[in-house]
């Protein structure tokens, strides 16, 4: 099925067909709580040939259906940028986004979450259910290719309990409870249950039987254990005809195998993006993976400039202008440039302490630093006309998109698991990599620079 315009589709809750049959492919509608998570799930579909469009938090949702007319769209993703919001604000954003996806004719609704359940997970699940008048859905947090697995409802990150991982120190959403069933139940009045690993590994019929039992027991959100990609494939076979899915992006990689195939979409066909500038990377994540990636980029010859937290908090305008001038000089000379925040744990603690002395809480400090980095990106790109940009960290990526006025991107290709390139269309198209801070190996920034440098030539 090759859809050139969105179609109204039947919200299909039936599970017609035997295992191995192809299910009708719905128009997929996803609500993500941050821009990197939107890309994370988008690329799972795009690498199977789907036309995936991501719309930012500033999008006029009433105008969304009209923007899709005449443009092939297989997956619509709306970023609510709600991970750091108060729960009530996040709830309302997700309800509005879900209503927009209903108007667009979606047949599958997916509430995308972080793969370690950071953010307003319970309230956002509730908002989706309330808008759809829905009662039950499977939830999957696991992302085995990125080291996230769930066993007995307990979540692990690269073999460590979630509460003992780097996410326990997250400055905004510290993850101090490893049992995701317990964690989610604290956030919702709906009942949370578990479909255990032994059930998953008995296959789709066993999963469906467990689903039926969970529904009888009044469960609304059934968290699925998963340790391997094959576990996800079994869940996908069982859930191929569901109307609602919840959780991380990893399950989305397996669903195209059980849906009707698509003709490959080629969003860069005929587009040339030649320029002599280097690639600009903006790194605002505090995760250790980001530190390693910036160090590897520096070792490969990238010019690295650091935003001092004190400068960002006391003189944000001056700090942005000084760093932008330095970055622009490097880009014009053809160098790849990284502008980063201070992200060592002691520097992060010092920034929060300084912010507190200035009357700012941890969220305000994080947003201030992201905002300054975003201004650096805009000023440097305006000064040079550079067309290739990498951002590291969800908050930073969102801030950069706001600063640049980007409210739509088209997902291009997967560079590493869950990490895509994308195109910001418009009068001045821009090639982007918007990366979650905790994803990717040490060489990811170097790989992303090479990938972007080869696109549009």
- According to DSSP, the β-strands at 52-55 and 137-140 are unpaired
Count how many domains the chain has: 2
Q: pLDDT tens digits for 171-181?
A: 778 899 999 99
273 within a domain of the structure (yes/no): no
138 and 250 both lie in a single domain: yes
Q: pLDDT tens digits for 411-437?
A: 999 999 989 999 999 888 999 999 988
Average pLDDT over residues 442-452: 97
Q: Given a cut of 90, is residue 269 above it in pLDDT?
A: no
pLDDT attached to residue 14: 36
pLDDT attached to residue 1: 27
Say which CATH number the domain at 355 has: 3.40.980.20
Global pTM reads: 0.88
Torsion sign, CA atoms 243, 248, 254, 256 = positive
Q: pLDDT tens digits for 310-360?
A: 999 999 999 999 999 999 999 999 999 999 999 888 988 899 999 999 999
Average pLDDT over residues 15-30: 70
110 and 176 both lie in a single domain: yes
CA 53-54-56 angle, to 5 degrees, is: 145
311 and 225 both lie in a single domain: no
Residue 259 vs residues 44, 143, 268, 362: alpha-carbon distances, Å: 14, 21, 25, 44
Q: Given a cut of 80, is residue 224 above it in pLDDT?
A: yes
95 within a domain of the structure (yes/no): yes
pLDDT attached to residue 171: 74
Is residue 327 within 8 A of residue 280, CB to CB? The reply is yes
Q: Given a cut of 70, is residue 59 above it in pLDDT?
A: yes
223 and 330 both lie in a single domain: no
How many residues are listed for the chain in this entry? 457
The rounded distance, in Å, linking the Cα atoms of 415 and 409 is: 16
The rounded distance, in Å, linking the Cα atoms of 45 and 252 is: 7
Q: DSSP string spanning 347-408?
A: HHHHHHHHHHHTT--HHHHHHHHHHHHHHHHHHHHHHH---EEEEESHHHHHHHHHHHT--E
Q: pLDDT tens digits for 191-208?
A: 999 999 999 999 999 999
54 and 130 both lie in a single domain: yes
Strand partners, 306: 340
365 and 247 both lie in a single domain: no
pLDDT attached to residue 6: 33
248 within a domain of the structure (yes/no): yes
288 and 388 both lie in a single domain: yes
241 and 294 both lie in a single domain: no
301 and 195 both lie in a single domain: no
Which run of H or E residues covers position 434?
strand 430-435
Say which CATH number the domain at 63 has: 3.40.50.10840
3-class secondary-structure state, position 234: helix
Q: Look up the domain containing 167 and give its range.
A: 28-258
Strand partners, 340: 283, 306
13 within a domain of the structure (yes/no): no
Strand partners, 178: none
Per-residue pLDDT band for 54 (boundaries 50, 70, 90) equals very high
% residues pLDDT > 90 (the chain):
84
Per-residue pLDDT band for 183 (boundaries 50, 70, 90) equals very high
Q: pLDDT tens digits for 358-388?
A: 999 988 998 999 999 999 999 999 999 999 9
164 within a domain of the structure (yes/no): yes
**Tokens at residue 401, please?**
């998109």
Average per-residue pLDDT in the chain? 92
Per-residue pLDDT band for 21 (boundaries 50, 70, 90) equals low
pLDDT attached to residue 380: 98
254 and 288 both lie in a single domain: no
254 and 296 both lie in a single domain: no
Q: pLDDT tens digits for 152-173?
A: 999 999 999 999 999 998 877 8
303 within a domain of the structure (yes/no): yes
pLDDT attached to residue 225: 98
pLDDT attached to residue 7: 33
Helices (H), 229-344: 229-239, 288-299, 309-314, 316-332
CA 298-397-60 angle, to 5 degrees, is: 160
- Other beta carbons within 10 angstroms of residue 303's beta carbon come to 18
34 within a domain of the structure (yes/no): yes
Which residues, in sequence order, are CB contacts of 389 under 8 Å at separation 6+? 279, 280, 281, 282, 377, 381, 400, 430, 431, 432, 433
2 within a domain of the structure (yes/no): no
pLDDT attached to residue 17: 38
- Domain end position, chosen among 224, 258, 292: 258
The rounded distance, in Å, linking the Cα atoms of 97 and 60 is: 10
Q: Given a cut of 50, is residue 9 above it in pLDDT?
A: no
285 and 247 both lie in a single domain: no
């Amino acid at each position: 099925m090759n859809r050139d315009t969105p179609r109204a589709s039947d919200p299909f809750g039936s599970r017609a067909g035997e295992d191995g049959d192809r299910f009708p492919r719905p128009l997929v509608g996803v609500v993500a709580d941050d821009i990197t998570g939107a890309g994370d799930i988008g690329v799972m579909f795009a690498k199977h040939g789907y036309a995936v469009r991501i719309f930012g938090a500033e999008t006029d949702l009433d105008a969304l259906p009209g923007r899709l007319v005449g443009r092939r769209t297989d997956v619509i993703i709306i970023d609510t940028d709600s991970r750091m919001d108060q729960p009530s604000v996040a709830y309302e954003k997700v309800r509005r986004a879900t209503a927009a996806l209903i108007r667009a004719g979606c047949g599958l609704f997916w509430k995308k979450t972080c793969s370690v359940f950071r953010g307003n997970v319970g309230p956002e699940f509730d908002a989706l259910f309330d808008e759809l008048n829905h009662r039950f859905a499977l939830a999957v947090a696991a992302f085995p290719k990125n080291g996230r697995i769930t066993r007995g409802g307990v979540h692990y990150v690269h073999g460590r309990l979630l509460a003992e991982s780097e996410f326990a120190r997250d400055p905004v959403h510290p993850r101090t409870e490893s049992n995701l069933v317990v964690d989610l139940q604290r956030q919702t009045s709906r009942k949370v249950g578990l479909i255990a690993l032994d059930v998953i590994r008995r296959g789709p019929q066993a999963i469906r039987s467990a689903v039926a039992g969970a529904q009888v027991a009044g469960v609304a959100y059934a968290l699925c254990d998963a340790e391997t990609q094959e576990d996800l494939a079994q869940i996908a076979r069982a859930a191929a005809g569901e109307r609602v899915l919840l959780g991380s992006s990893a399950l989305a990689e397996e669903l195209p195998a059980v849906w009707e195939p698509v003709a490959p979409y080629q969003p860069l066909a005929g587009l040339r993006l030649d320029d002599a500038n280097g690639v600009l990377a903006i790194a605002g994540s505090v995760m250790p993976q980001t530190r390693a990636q910036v160090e590897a980029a520096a070792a490969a010859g990238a010019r690295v400039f650091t935003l001092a937290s004190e400068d960002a908090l006391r003189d944000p305008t001056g700090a942005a202008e000084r760093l932008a001038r330095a970055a622009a000089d490097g880009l014009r000379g053809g160098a790849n440039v990284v502008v980063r925040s201070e992200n060592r744990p002691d520097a992060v603690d010092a920034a929060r302490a300084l912010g507190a002395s200035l009357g700012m809480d941890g969220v305000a400090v994080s947003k201030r630093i992201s905002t300054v980095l975003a201004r650096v990106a805009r000023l440097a790109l305006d000064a040079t006309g550079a067309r290739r940009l990498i951002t590291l960290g969800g908050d930073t990526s969102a801030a950069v998109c706001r600063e640049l006025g980007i409210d739509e991107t088209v997902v291009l290709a997967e560079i590493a698991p869950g990490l895509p390139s994308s195109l910001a269309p418009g009068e001045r198209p821009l090639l982007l990599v918007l990366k979650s801070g905790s994803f990717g190996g040490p060489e990811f920034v170097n790989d992303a620079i090479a990938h972007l440098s080869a696109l549009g030539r």
